[in-house]
Structure 1
Amino acid sequence: MSLLDTATEIRIDHDNVRELFERYQSASSKDEKAVIANTLVREMAIHGDAEEISVYNELPRLGLGPTVEHNKEEHAEIKRLVYSADSTPTDSENYDEVVTHAVQTFIQHAEEEEIDQLPVIKKKVSEEDNDKMARSFLYARKVVPTRPHPMAPQTGGIAQKAAGLPAALHDKIVETINTRKFVDVKQQHPNV
């Protein structure tokens, strides 16, 4: 079994959001944009919460405690913007602007992580710890909410995990009742 890399798994999410946004920008109909936007919202929500309850919990022991606090502040802003994108009607005249602002803020944060943080993490952890962190992140992606919940705890600890489980179930119900449609993402994570 090959070892996984935390930076690679995080970049998959970042790259999927970038690629989805390109598709969103070139979509020709509101219906097509709405389906892509649903997927963008889902991917950004999952990514943020998964990082907070997995990777971010490991960073203080690497001497990156201030980085965690900075990232959580940015995540709180991103969640607020993604929530706004999720709740703005597709026929609203500012729909594109709201979605674009949320995605651009996410991408700006992603670039900061890729340039300033992920290389430092890779240098400071053993291959085995890197693999454990990557697997923790991938498991977290399976259990966190699929829609933004900016009022939920942002601690990264047990309170966020506990609040996330019923929220994840709620999100599945809402998505089923509302018959939300999604597009496929370009890159897939390994199945762990």
Structure 2
Amino acid sequence: MIEELFGELETGDPGADERRRLANEVVAELVRHTVAEERYLYPTVRKVLPEGDRVADHEIHDHNEAERDMKSIEGLDPTTPDFEFTLTKLMGEMRQHILEEEVELFPRLRAAADPAELRELARKTQQVKRLAPTRPHPSAPSRPPASTLLEPALGLVDRIRDALSRRAT
């Protein structure tokens, strides 16, 4: 889904309103992806992989950088070069992050973790995405237990803001 949205932003020539809408969709998907990974994937990585703390900390660092870019995009006019630069930077960072996960992290995790645990991890990840925030909150905690307590409230507030934004347009 994220790559599809990236493709639409890169190949299409939508107007400013459509670019804003697509960028908002990208941000919402990336935020949900980030929340799910930080809530469930990285604690599992810490538990089952040698050097799991180092790996998880690296991934969380990538997320923090991306969240800052996402927050910047929210405040930029989609007709400006700064918007294009920040969006292109974000897409490059996230593509690299996803590639590292698919090529390096996930194979290591599949080799080290119990298959039943991985299935449960996938189930929980999909479940949390439905309630996760849809906007970046770079100053919010990214590790449990604080993140576990705060994310549902942020998700609710974000969904209300999203609904109000849709009604205003």
1:180 offset after TM fit, Å? 7.6
- Whole-Å Cα distance in 1 between the matches of residues 34 and 133 of structure 2? 10
Measured at CA, do residues 180 and 96 of structure 1 come closer, stay the same or move farther in structure 2, by a change above 3 Å?
Answer: farther
Say yes or no: does 1:170 pair with 2:168: no
Matches within 5 A, 1:1-192: 16-28=1-13, 29-63=15-49, 64-155=52-143, 157-179=144-166
1:143 offset after TM fit, Å? 2.0
Contact 1:144 1:161 in 2 (8 A): no
Normalising by structure 2, we get a TM-score of 0.91
Q: Percent identity?
A: 25
1:94-123 Cα offsets, whole Å, 9 max, x none, are 211121111211111111111110100111
1:43 offset after TM fit, Å? 0.6
Amino acid in structure 2 at the alignment position of 1:17: I
1:91 offset after TM fit, Å? 3.4
- Whole-Å Cα distance in 2 between the matches of residues 95 and 59 of structure 1? 34
1:31 offset after TM fit, Å? 2.2
RMSD across aligned C-alpha pairs, in angstroms? Answer: 1.6
Amino acid in structure 2 at the alignment position of 1:120: R
5+ unaligned residues in a row in structure 2: which ranges? none
1:130 offset after TM fit, Å? 1.0
SS of the residue aligned with 1:118? helix
5+ unaligned residues in a row in structure 1: which ranges? 1-15, 182-192
- Whole-Å Cα distance in 2 between the matches of residues 113 and 87 of structure 1? 29
1:40 offset after TM fit, Å? 0.5
1:44-64 Cα offsets, whole Å, 9 max, x none, are 111011100011111111122
Contact 1:27 1:33 in 2 (8 A): no
Contact 1:62 1:124 in 2 (8 A): yes
SS of the residue aligned with 2:138? coil
1:76 offset after TM fit, Å? 0.7
- Whole-Å Cα distance in 1 between the matches of residues 28 and 157 of structure 2? 13
Amino acid in structure 1 at the alignment position of 2:41: V
- Whole-Å Cα distance in 2 between the matches of residues 144 and 32 of structure 1? 24
- Whole-Å Cα distance in 1 between the matches of residues 82 and 64 of structure 2? 22
Contact 1:144 1:168 in 2 (8 A): yes
Contact 1:78 1:105 in 2 (8 A): yes
Amino acid in structure 2 at the alignment position of 1:101: K
Measured at CA, do residues 147 and 139 of structure 1 come closer, stay the same or move farther in structure 2, by a change above 3 Å?
Answer: same
